[in-house]
Structure 1
Amino acid sequence: MKHIYNILLIGIISCFFSCYTEEVKPTVITTSDYTVLVDYAVSAQDTIGNIPGTSNKGSVTFTIVSQSVPNALSIGETYGELIVQDASAFDPEINTEMNLVVSVSKNEITENTNISITIEEPCPDVNINDWLGKIAVVNNGTQTAAFGIENDCSILTLQGGDVAGLTCDVEAEISIQYEESDSNIGIILVERQAYDCVSGSNLELEADGEYDQDTGITTLNYTLYENNSINSTGTTTLFFDASSCTPVVNTAIWDGNLTVEEPGFFVVSGTGKSGCNTLEISGDILNWGCDSGLLPALEISFTPDSDGATTGTAVMERQNYNCNAGENLEIEATGTYNEDTSTIDFTYAFYIDGEEFFTGDIVITPN
């Protein structure tokens, strides 16, 4: 009986101390600063994020302490949802960012967290077709050739061309932002960026100017920097080279790294360089096993099914497959392309010394 009494007494004492320890354990709140990018086209009652906050003592309470745009947002007291109350406050012409301080509380213990909200501006929608494909670049009376590729948000990537009159020995690339306008004349901006036009130099270029959709001319008023100091300023014009073709296929989809697969047999890599309704693909796309330093560069031409179509035929005329020294290798292929799925499907034939050696099917997609 005495042993039972002792066991009960020890149990009661252990429970007392463990319960007491639990009661005096300090409340700890865990939270962190929070950053969110918000689309300008939000609506009232949209949730744009959840504030992080927990406690070692269970649920916490969220409260807005301050906000830089009054009454723009409310917060869910239990789960910390940031909820839009005034959608008009998210117009980027009025506010480009908002800042809030939110308290996270439990048992009279409070931690504050800082909330930074950036409002994403609408993407410009400008028809820049006049500057796609082969472009003439004129600087101080000298004309050079470049190639224009459209990216998202009306940004033109200009490949090549002597924009700053430097007699380039490297094909430089710059990005030009076309801004929306209520007329056919609008402004362009070139943010300061590397201009790798001359080997071994440290050049940067920035510019402003305008475009005219009626004349098809873009004017750049540029400043050229070398080693962070101004080197020169000037004006350059860009216009479509009418002697070239009209781009009707967005071959820029296959610019850069590509995957080439013959289903069930191999997957290899290639590199694409877009042209006007053409694509040059470099690489051992048939997994033949090329000599070191030798890679075929193959030309593909595209024809849409109809005006404005995003599908059509792709053709690789019979051409050299320059892969092994001393061997006479050729390839030809026909197939289809689909801009929406970013795929080129080919049925090909491979020739050695003029004789068909094997055939197959490959699929080309961007990485």
Structure 2
Amino acid sequence: MTADTKNRAIHSLRFIRGDELQIPTYKVLKQDGTPYKGAKLPDLDKHTALRIYKAMVRTRVLDERMLAAQRQGRLSFYMQSTGEEATTVGFAAALDDEDMIMAQYREQGALVYRGFTLEEFMNQLFSNERDYGKGRQMPIHYGSSKLHYMTISSPLATQIPQATGYAYGQKLAGDGKCTVTVFGEGAASEGDFHAALNMASVLKVPVIFLCRNNGYAISTPSNEQFAADGIAPRALGYGMHTIRVDGNDILAVYAATVEARRIAVEENEPVLIEAMSYRLAAHSSSDDPSGYRSKKEEENWASKDPLSRMKQWLLLQEWWSEDEDKQLYDIDRRDVLATLKECEKHPIPKLEEMITDVYDVPPPLLKEQLEQLKEHIRKYPEAYPKTAGRLDNE
């Protein structure tokens, strides 16, 4: 804001209404894979396009199989990203591989795109001894330092101010990298969201705030969460760049993120992207969406499936075929199932690892509590069959 803007005056009484500002939605691809008239396609080569599509398919297959595993009692909890893959994979494809991602809990597509293996997914989901978190997190709380993907935290919005702080460090380092933090529109109701946006604008840091507006905060629809025109206008109140995109349009998400990253890195300016999508699956494996939305609504959004839209575009480019598509799904389903069967056999982490990684040397109090826990498990071995068995082999 310039001094002239601050000092500008009017002499007739007039309030500005919130509904006067309506932000349009940026779209590139129609559902049949053809571009809208006048839409400029992003510079996306065949190799990257196929990498994106394959990551979207693998994410869909992983979600399908792991929800089935949860229903079979092989897994305690799971969260799908079905219907939101264009957003979760598209933004990651537009980044530098060393840009930091601070996600919420539905961005497994970004990890797939960056190369997180099926083994790495399964080890975390089963909390086995190969899990990077050593079994101390519930399923879907992934993290990978080598892939610059911050470990997920359950409480909503905690990653948003952390992203601003991390991006401030990147600005000071001058390494030409940025941070992207992803969250749902429900998380944007948390105070952390507003603190993060204000701090990012004041300090001018290279951070991208990506809101996945999928219509529901668990069972609460958007129209019961806020009265304004979504999340995008909020960024204007903090003096930052903002855009709303069709979150089911992979080319729109990709193009918007490419430009957002340029603004963040080259101009040291924060950017907010609101991706309009829909959560076709339940909020989690513990949720039943039939209690708060209709089948007709779900069917309407299912017809806007982001995987189908990108597939049609690839077919039109003659970069893909129906036979290749069928083969890809078959291979991914086989690989996911085989990896699941293998990784669920790995033993759980050692009990001692519960108190490592916080202090250089665990203090006496933690050691005492660990011994009390061991004594408790020995007393009730039937309640802790896996752990008790490992205690016997200490």
Please give the range of the TM-score, normalised by the shorter of the 2 chains.
Answer: under 0.3
TM-score by length of 1: 0.21
Larger radius of gyration: 1
Scaled by the length of structure 2, the TM-score of the pair is 0.20
Which has the larger strand fraction?
1
**Normalized per residue, which structure has more helix?**
2
